[in-house]
C-alpha cells in the first residue's frame, strides 16, 4: 500500500517537474548576478577562477558559516561515537575482531600512493584560485590519504587526535584572523588584501590562496577525524 501511494506521489511530482522544466529557458539562463560578477571579478578580486572569487571573495562570510556547520557535524559525530565506544562490549572485542593488516597489495599500494596523494592534495589547495579545485576538494584528498593509511594498518598506525585538533583550530582561527585584519585596515570583513599581484600567477589574488589553504587544512583535518571516528567505532562494536 505504501509503495503504491509512493508511486502515485512520485508520478505526480515527475509530471510537475517536467512541466516546470519545459518552461525553463534552458541553455539561455538570464545571469543577472553572474554577469556582474564575471565582468567585475577580474578587477575586484583578481583570481583567474571566478568560482573561487565567489566562494572566498563575494561570499566569504557564507564560507565561514559553512566551515562552522562542518565543524559542528564533525564534533557531534565525535560525541555520538565516542560515548558508544565506552560501553560494555569494549572489553571483549579483541578475540572477535583481531585486526591484522590488509593484504600485501593494499598495504604496498597505499604506501606507494600516499606521498603522491599528499602532493595532489596540496597542489589542488594551492592552485584553487587558478584552476578548478580549491580548499574543499584538496582537503578531501588529504583526509582520504591519511585515513587510508590507518585503514590499511588498523593496529600499527594511529593518528594523533591532539595534533589533528591543533591543525583544525589553527586553520579556523587563521581564517577568522585574515578576515579581522581586513576590518582593521578599514575594509569589510574578509575583504581580499595584499594587492592582486600578477594575474593568473601562483602569487596572485591577495589573501585568497591563504584563505583556501586554511580551508583545505580545516576540511582535511575534520574529514580525517570524521572518517577515523566512524572507522574506530566499527572496530570497537
The residues of the shown chain that bind another protein, judged by CB under 8 A, are 2-3, 6-7, 9-10, 13-14, 17-18, 21-22, 24, 26-29, 31, 33-34, 37-38, 41-42, 48-51, 53-55, 59, 62-63, 66, 69-70, 72-74, 76-77, 80-81, 84, 87, 130-132, 134, 136, 199-200, 219, 223, 226, 229-230, 233-234, 237
Q: How far is the CB of 59 from another protein (least distance, A)?
A: 6
Q: How far is the CB of 212 from another protein (least distance, A)?
A: 12
Q: How far is the CB of 2 from another protein (least distance, A)?
A: 7
**Between 84 and 108, whose beta carbon lies closer to another protein?**
84
**Between 17 and 183, whose beta carbon lies closer to another protein?**
17
Q: Which residue from 74, 44, 61, 64 is spatially nearest to 220, judged by alpha carbons?
A: 74
Contact 221/168 with Cβ under 8 angstroms?
Answer: yes
Q: How far is the CB of 151 from another protein (least distance, A)?
A: 16
DSSP-derived letter for residue 127 is: T
- Cα separation, 83 vs 92, in Å, equals 17
Q: How far is the CB of 71 from another protein (least distance, A)?
A: 9
**Between 63 and 207, whose beta carbon lies closer to another protein?**
63
Per-residue b or e along 27-44, where b marks 16 or more CB atoms closer than 10 Å to that residue's CB: eeeeeeeeeebeeebeee
**Between 29 and 100, whose beta carbon lies closer to another protein?**
29
- At 66, give phi and psi (nearest 5°): -65, -40
Cell reading at 77: 559525530
Question: What single string gives the DSSP state of each residue in 60-107?
Answer: HHHHHHHHHHHHHHHHHHHHHHHHHTTSGGGSTHHHH-------HHHH
DSSP-derived letter for residue 55 is: I
**Between 59 and 117, whose beta carbon lies closer to another protein?**
59
**Between 62 and 101, whose beta carbon lies closer to another protein?**
62
Q: How far is the CB of 213 from another protein (least distance, A)?
A: 16
Amino acid at each position: 500500500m505504501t509503495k503504491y501511494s509512493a508511486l502515485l506521489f512520485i508520478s505526480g511530482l515527475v509530471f510537475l517537474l517536467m512541466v516546470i522544466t519545459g518552461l525553463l529557458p534552458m541553455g539561455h539562463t538570464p545571469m543577472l548576478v553572474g554577469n556582474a560578477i564575471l565582468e567585475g571579478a577580474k578587477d575586484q578580486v583578481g583570481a583567474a577562477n571566478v568560482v573561487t572569487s565567489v566562494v572566498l571573495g563575494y561570499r566569504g562570510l557564507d564560507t565561514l558559516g559553512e566551515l562552522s556547520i562542518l565543524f559542528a557535524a564533525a564534533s557531534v559525530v565525535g560525541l555520538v561515537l565516542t560515548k558508544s565506544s565506552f560501553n560494555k562490549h569494549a572489553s571483549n572485542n579483541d578475540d572477535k575482531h583481531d585486526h591484522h593488516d590488509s593484504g600485501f597489495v593494499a598495504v604496498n599500494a597505499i604506501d606507494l600512493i600516499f606521498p603522491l596523494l599528499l602532493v595532489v592534495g596540496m597542489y589542488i589547495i594551492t592552485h584553487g584560485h587558478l584552476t578548478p579545485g580549491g580548499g574543499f576538494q584538496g582537503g578531501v584528498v588529504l583526509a582520504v590519504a591519511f585515513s587510508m593509511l590507518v585503514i590499511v594498518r588498523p593496529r600499527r598506525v594511529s593518528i594523533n587526535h591532539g595534533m589533528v585538533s591543533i591543525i583544525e583550530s589553527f586553520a579556523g582561527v587563521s581564517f577568522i584572523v585574515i578576515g579581522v585584519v581586513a576590518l582593521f585596515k578599514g575594509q569589510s570583513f574578509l575583504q581580499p588584501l595584499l594587492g592582486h599581484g600578477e594575474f593568473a600567477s601562483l602569487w596572485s589574488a591577495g589573501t585568497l590562496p591563504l584563505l583556501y589553504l586554511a580551508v583545505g587544512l580545516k576540511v582535511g583535518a575534520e574529514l580525517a577525524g570524521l572518517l577515523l571516528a566512524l572507522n574506530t567505532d566499527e572496530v570497537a562494536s
